[in-house]
Structure 1
Amino acid sequence: MTTPNPANDARTPPVAVWQLLEKLRGQDLTDWRVAPLDGRPSPAERGLDIGFPFGWYAVEMADFVAAGQVKPLRYFGTDLAIWRGEDGKVRVTDAWCKHLGAHMGHGGKVHGNLLECPFHAWRYDGDEGTVKDIPYAKAIPPQVKRKCQRTWPVTEANGWIWVWYHPDQNVAPMWDVVVHDEVGDPEWTPFDTIEWTVYGSIQNMAENGVDVAHFKYIHGTADVPKAELRWGDWGRGADVKAQMGTPAGIVDGLISYDTMGPGQSWVRFRGISETLLVASLVPVEEDVLRVRYCFTQPKQQADGPGAGLARALIRDICKQLDQDKVIWDRMRYEPNPIICDGDGPIPQFRQWYSRYYAQPQGDTNLRAVG
């Protein structure tokens, strides 16, 4: 009698689903997506201590902070304070007051367009990074009359608040956020947003898109998808043509994936159901990412006869990220991977992606290059 080979046994489900996801449904699945992952190795052990790639990042939805409101944030391994002034403009600074170190995101106030510290009411200009007023003092110390606080470039687009990150705070934004006409269009649905916490790096997530072989073994696709790749100065993309089965038969589909910098990515799905996916991927720590997928579809489609297919497409996309998360949460970054002829263009991707890391002068060790 021949013993079946488990690798070829159709009864053996994909490892990610088999181990963690098969029995997760409803609220249990929602909770798992953002649950803490205790006992994981340090970022250094996993090769994730390479810094954050610079670019625009969608940190919060536009309605996160109202006019006159202050809130705390933590991204890029840094405590931040965010507020919206009376002029309607959002501002972000480092959180700690230069006076005695109070966290201004907790209990701070908006005074006009200034951020007022909750401890002694020192008032900061979120554009200049200076102290403009100390209500109980006759004079402002000269050290804080000049720039003393890091201010973060901010813009709003696509229903999100975007913050520019660069390890050198003096480097201004190098490109603009791409605006999507569908977002806010009355003919398109409001965002349907799903959230994950991924315990890994944003580069590993991005590399997944060119790792074509994993689609068969993690996602269970019948074949390895073929994509037409596009490489730009600061953005990249791919077009994947596929035949997809539906209750009405085979449909020719097109999946177009695009990025602008490491922090902005979006996917347009055409064929079964027209869908725009806008992704927010923001590093919190070196080994922690906050990931949010926002879906919008034409209302006529989402509420029409094909509504079931439209919802099923979103569920399937989220299922694939669930499967990837099981791997990302536990993988390390291999700076010198051994690549075989069935892999996608991983070395080319790493060479291209290295442009997002600010290297110290004279440092030629590009950790992002395999």
Structure 2
Amino acid sequence: MSDVHKSDATDARTPSVAVWQVLEKLKGQELIDWRLAETTGRASVEERNLNIGLPFGWYPIELSANLACGEVEPLRYFSKDLAMWRGENGQVHIVDAYCKHLGAHMGHGGKVHGDLLECPFHSWRYDGAEGVVKEIPYARVIPPQVKRKCIRTWHVTEANRWIWAWYHPQDAAPLWEVALLPEASDPSWTDYEVHEWNVWGSIQNMAENGVDVAHFRYIHGTANVPLGELRWGEWGRGADVKAKMGTPWGEVDGCISYDTMGPGQSWTRFTGICETLLVACLAPVELDHVHVRFCFTQPRAQAEGERAGVAKAIIRDICKQFDQDKVVWDRQKYETNPIICDGDGPIPQFRQFYSRYYPKT
């Protein structure tokens, strides 16, 4: 290694840009607030080339436990206002938010009537499966326009303790299922520890980060990160990265194994120091806004035993790395014709793979 490269790698006066400029002094509640606050002064969607549409797939909307039977919740995802409710039969439904009568937002003040969603304005009652008006309490006759499907209904499923919605710009039916993670329902693993961010950028730029090996050195300060053995499936991808890890009990063989199923479902298993499952839940709100929730679960025997401190440290470090990436993502442009050099990782191959999540025009 040349002296120049040695200096680059070891000079403590030039810490990684993200930590140096933004994160160094953020602690506690200030850091939590920063993760959620809007990034002001960012360039427009058009200037950043983020107007490429949203990739289709299953997206996590809400933790299942946060929506009880009979509850209604307003949502904003996929650049749309939505209303979600859980009927008395336990089934979750999501529909476009605005009543076809006089345009009330049914997520704000709407009620559950049996398994129907009741509009707060005039009590028109919608079926979440058929997208029709079933009842109008004050009318003798339901207008024929709303006796047939009149409002968009969304495909919904529950898995891994989450409510998922299928997004497709042409309202096509789901092309795959949400992958089930056994740890998520295993009582010997901890409840989710949830950390939350708003990222003011593109979900594709965020996904690309996983194969951009060069940035790990300059943003996260790591000496190197092996790309690992990449897996490319029909709708999902992943990699296994093996490494030696130092612990208070000596050096151990560790592995970071990550997988995705579509653009909205991602999970990573960490083994070696303390087993950890990260369920990364990403859902686009707008073309330049992604709602992110990281859900961590670990074996109770490790998380609550002698390795509890190490278990917590793993979660802190993962969140710290995401904070560092967010600083860049919040203002990053989507470069449609990037100039790639050797050492960048398989970014062109990734883009070719990711293009399957956009409808062919």
The answer to whether TM tops 0.5 is: yes
Partner SS for 1:293: strand
Give the partner amino acid of 1:85: G
Of 73, 76, 80, the residue aligned with 1:74 is 76
Once the 2 structures are TM-superposed, how far is the Cα of residue 359 of structure 1 from its aligned partner? 3.0
Give the TM-score normalised by the residue count of structure 2: 0.97
Partner of 1:19: 21
Number of residue equivalences: 357
CA contact (8 A) 2:63 2:161 kept: yes
Q: What is the CA–CA distance in structure 2 between the aligned matches of 1:155 and 1:319, rounded to whole Å? A: 31
1:206 corresponds to which residue? 207
Which residue of structure 2 aligns with residue 129 of structure 1?
A: 131
Summarize the alignment of residues 235-274 of structure 1 with structure 2, pairs less than 5 Å apart: 235-274=236-275
Cα-to-partner distance string for 1:62-86 (whole Å, 9 max, x where unaligned): 0222111111000000000000001
Name 1:101's counterpart in structure 2: 103
Alignment of 1:345 onto 2:346 = yes
Segment drifting more, 91-100 vs 133-142: 133-142
2:163 is the alignment partner of 1:161? yes
Q: What is the correspondence of 1:279-298 to structure 2 with a 5 Å cutoff? A: 279-298=280-299
Deviation at 1:120, TM superposition (A): 0.7
Secondary structure, aligned partner of 1:301: helix
1:28 correspondence with 2:34 = no
Aligned counterparts of 2:65 and 2:272: Cα–Cα separation in 1: 32
Q: Relative to 1, partners in 2 of residues 1:66 and 1:244: Cα closer, same or farther, differing over 3 Å? A: same
Q: 1:57 aligns with which of 49, 59, 82?
A: 59
Q: Are the equivalent residues in 2 in contact too, given 1:226–1:241 (CA < 8 A)?
A: no
Q: In the alignment, which residue of structure 2 is the partner of 1:329?
A: 330
**Structure 2 residue aligned with 1:366:** none
What is the CA–CA distance in structure 2 between the aligned matches of 1:244 and 1:24, rounded to whole Å?
A: 28
Q: Residue by residue, what CA displacement relative to the aligned partner does 1:281-336 show, whole Å, maximum 9, x if unpaired?
A: 00001000100000000000001111111110010000000000001001100010
Between 1:282-291 and 1:61-70, the stretch displaced more is 61-70
Residue 296 of structure 2 aligns to a residue in which SS? strand
Q: CA deviation at 1:224?
A: 3.4
Task: Give the Å deviation of 1:28.
Answer: 1.0
Cα displacement string for residues 73-124 of structure 1 (whole angstroms, at most 9, x for unaligned residues): 0000000000000100000000000000000001111111111111111111
**How far apart in 2 are the matches of 1:96 and 1:291?**
26
Gaps (5+ residues) in structure 1?
361-370
Extract structure 1 runs of 4+ deviating beyond 3 A: 3-8
Instruction: State the one-letter code of the partner of 1:35.
Output: A
Q: Give the 3-state SS of the residue equivalent to 2:204 in structure 1.
A: helix
TM-score w.r.t. length of structure 1:
0.94
The offset of 1:251, in angstroms, is: 1.8
CA distance in 2, matches of 1:267, 1:45: 33
Q: Is the 8 A contact 1:6 1:12 kept in 2?
A: no
Distance 1:216 1:73 in 2: 38
- Structure 1 residue aligned with 2:93: 91
Alignment partner, residue 191 of structure 1? 192
Matches within 5 A, 1:140-159: 140-159=142-161
> The residue matched to 1:335 in structure 2 has which SS?
coil
Q: CA deviation at 1:135?
A: 1.0
* Equivalent of residue 46 in structure 1, options 42, 45, 48: 48
Matched, 1:174 2:179: no
Q: For structure 2, which runs of at least 5 residues remain unmatched after alignment?
A: none
Cα distance between partner residues in 2 of 1:64 and 1:87? 16
Q: Give 1:7 deviation, angstroms.
A: 4.5
* Larger deviation, residues 7-16 vs 91-100: 7-16
Q: CA deviation at 1:183?
A: 1.0
Pairwise CA distance, 1:5:
10
RMSD: 1.4
Asked if the contact 1:184–1:190 (Cα under 8 Å) also holds between the matched residues in 2, the reply is no
CA distance in 2, matches of 1:212, 1:39: 29
In the alignment, which residue of structure 1 is the partner of 2:122? 120
Q: For residue 192 of structure 2, what is the amino acid of its counterpart?
A: F
SS in 2 for 1:193: strand
Once the two structures are superposed, what CA deviation does each residue of 1:157-186 show, in whole Å capped at 9, x if it has no partner? 1010000000112x1111111111111211
Name the residue aligned to 1:365.
none
Q: State the secondary structure of the residue aligned to 1:208.
A: helix
Note the C-alpha offset of 1:346: 0.2
Deviation at 1:4, TM superposition (A): 12
Counterpart contact for 2:211–2:227, Cα < 8 Å: no
Counterpart secondary structure, 1:71:
strand
Tell me if the contact between 1:57 and 1:264 (Cα under 8 Å) persists in the aligned partners: yes
CA contact (8 A) 2:198 2:289 kept: yes
Letter in 2 for 1:41: A
Task: State the Cα distance separating 1:250 from its structure 2 match.
Answer: 1.9
**Superposed displacement of residue 223, structure 1:** 1.6
Counterpart amino acid of residue 234 in structure 1: W
